[in-house]
Structure 1
């Protein structure tokens, strides 16, 4: 990203935190270590980079980095010697990477009196790496600020959490998330579904690989509409189509999440068809056509059965058994 695009992104995603850190920096009250926690795509990296740009910018304007000077440009491209970024090497951040970081901590700043360290995916530090980092956090060096970025604060060592200032980043509002997905050229029907499943662009991109999410959407639409019409051929669809799309536990859980959305969709269309959080615009007409024959209590019960199915999967009941049993129950309830 360019320096200007970082400024724009962080202002759009986390405007309140931008204002907060403007005041903190102006008062020279920046802490020695922060833990930025929140889902992927909500602005953690951009916020840490923006703070670094603000600290090093040669032409601060209205308490903001200019985004055009040499310092801003070098930081935005990861080329500033006093802004060190560590990312996972493979699946984890290893102890050697943290040792390198600690060695950098002890050096004087190359071009000024400030050093910034940004550790992305900090929850992926090995136990050795996390323990190695702990000493710096416990005994901070002057004019050194560390930013640890994580999507899962619960995976961080409690001792690290207790010695950092934790900043919980707010999720993107739906329109921001939709805009990001549109930039990735995700289709409108998939966007409508995705915004009710996650707030992470990275997660959606993973689901889109090899056209997987589109296939799931298509096959589940067919299966659900059969179940909704009490068509027991939906039972055959489980083994013929759906099992082939659910090879991992994560994929199985996501499929059941989408099933829950379908059950929820029918209920919403019954009680509030003008809702702005509908997930399946391409199927809503068919669902609505069947609603006169469905009671609200039946729709509520179907949603409950979908929730029970997810709980069964979490108790290690086989996905095939879970989905086949749910198919029978939905056909009975509807």
Structure 2
């Protein structure tokens, strides 16, 4: 279970601010929790809800987790707490109107009410305008919590009515520790922690055979790149194009290739402790002897540019073919 104490370690600034607001009775009527996926926004919104409804809070702000209210919130059936999530690709006006109707009613057990809007950036224009009216006329006992990974997509008029709380990206070291605690091998965890900030996603990757095979294909591509362009293009046809299917998978493959290049650079600079392809360290050390830091920097820039063009909807197969030729420019890797 995610606890207040655990998030005081993970997001100390956020939790200190909320603690002080609760203890001083100065909670804002609306919060916008913004930050990358996996930084704990939804968990903290739940903890804040429990702090407000807990009948026996520890030190006045930490939910006890054992009272009737805490248990009902954990099970998702407290009548005065409402969570709105996208219906399909967006949050629609009708969903906000239904929320308003619920809040127009008297609290079932108290005057307090809390609502959380997950992916608030996905509200339609009509939904956002309906919410704006709701935020403009808050009741003293209502707390709104909006969650987003893309603050720039929230209406400025909504932002101006919320207290913005920024959740910092979790360190890879923290995620590695959590992954290992959940049974992921110490050699797999560092790669996964570079690709996601989310524990659940990380655990899924650790058990994904597609992901394990993707790492092998990316390493093979780098190895044949050191030989000649024709062999690398053949490798794309025989391996990459058969394994990587959609834009998301291509993007992950490019991320894995970028990690290979970073590892080579770390090895050249004597920073072996930062290498993430731990199973391939011996082979990477041989590769690092056969290239230069300047060459690696150029190749990393090429991969980053390929990621940008991929997100600009360039044909993925054509993009990879061009990238391979670009990475091979010049007759030597040295």
> Do they superpose with TM above 0.5?
yes
Separation in structure 2 between the aligned mates of residue 178 and residue 210 of structure 1, nearest angstrom = 17
CA contact (8 A) 1:9 1:46 kept: no
Gap change, CA 1:187 and 1:156, over 3 Å in 2:
farther
Matched, 1:40 2:8: no
Separation in structure 2 between the aligned mates of residue 131 and residue 184 of structure 1, nearest angstrom = 43
Q: 1:212 aligns with which of 206, 210, 213?
A: 210
Matched, 1:25 2:22: yes
CA contact (8 A) 2:119 2:148 kept: yes
Deviates most, 5-14 or 56-65: 5-14
In structure 2, the partner of 1:152 is 150
Per the TM alignment, residue 164 of structure 1 is displaced from its structure 2 partner at its CA by 0.9
Gap change, CA 1:255 and 1:146, over 3 Å in 2:
same
Say what the alpha-carbon RMSD is for the aligned residues: 2.5
Matched, 1:307 2:301: no
Counterpart secondary structure, 2:278: coil
Matched, 1:10 2:1: no
Separation in structure 1 between the aligned mates of residue 175 and residue 57 of structure 2, nearest angstrom = 30
Separation in structure 2 between the aligned mates of residue 193 and residue 114 of structure 1, nearest angstrom = 44
Per the TM alignment, residue 101 of structure 1 is displaced from its structure 2 partner at its CA by 0.7
Per the TM alignment, residue 134 of structure 1 is displaced from its structure 2 partner at its CA by 1.0
Moved over 6 A (4+): none
In structure 1, the partner of 2:291 is 294
CA contact (8 A) 1:121 1:149 kept: yes
CA contact (8 A) 1:229 1:290 kept: no
Give the alignment of 1:162-311 within 5 angstroms: 162-182=160-180, 185-201=183-199, 203-204=201-202, 211-228=209-226, 232-276=230-274, 278-311=275-308
CA contact (8 A) 1:106 1:141 kept: no
CA contact (8 A) 1:105 1:141 kept: no
Counterpart secondary structure, 2:144: strand
Question: Matched residue pairs, number?
Answer: 330
Separation in structure 1 between the aligned mates of residue 196 and residue 112 of structure 2, nearest angstrom = 37
In structure 1, the partner of 2:318 is 321
Gap change, CA 1:167 and 1:145, over 3 Å in 2:
same
Q: 1:143 aligns with which of 141, 158, 163?
A: 141
Separation in structure 1 between the aligned mates of residue 308 and residue 82 of structure 2, nearest angstrom = 44
For each residue in 1:53-79, what CA deviation from the matched residue of structure 2 results, as whole angstroms up to 9, or x when unmatched? 111211122232212111111122212
Per the TM alignment, residue 329 of structure 1 is displaced from its structure 2 partner at its CA by 3.6
Counterpart secondary structure, 1:148: strand
Gap change, CA 1:329 and 1:88, over 3 Å in 2:
closer
Per the TM alignment, residue 107 of structure 1 is displaced from its structure 2 partner at its CA by 2.0
Deviates most, 280-289 or 310-319: 310-319
For each residue in 1:26-58, what CA deviation from the matched residue of structure 2 results, as whole angstroms up to 9, or x when unmatched? 111111111101122211112111111111211
In structure 2, the partner of 1:49 is 46
Separation in structure 2 between the aligned mates of residue 323 and residue 181 of structure 1, nearest angstrom = 32
Separation in structure 1 between the aligned mates of residue 210 and residue 149 of structure 2, nearest angstrom = 24
Deviates most, 205-214 or 228-237: 205-214
TM-score (norm 1): 0.88
Separation in structure 1 between the aligned mates of residue 209 and residue 130 of structure 2, nearest angstrom = 41
Counterpart secondary structure, 2:143: strand
In structure 1, the partner of 2:73 is 75
Separation in structure 2 between the aligned mates of residue 92 and residue 203 of structure 1, nearest angstrom = 22
Matched, 1:61 2:93: no
CA contact (8 A) 2:190 2:276 kept: yes
Separation in structure 1 between the aligned mates of residue 8 and residue 101 of structure 2, nearest angstrom = 33
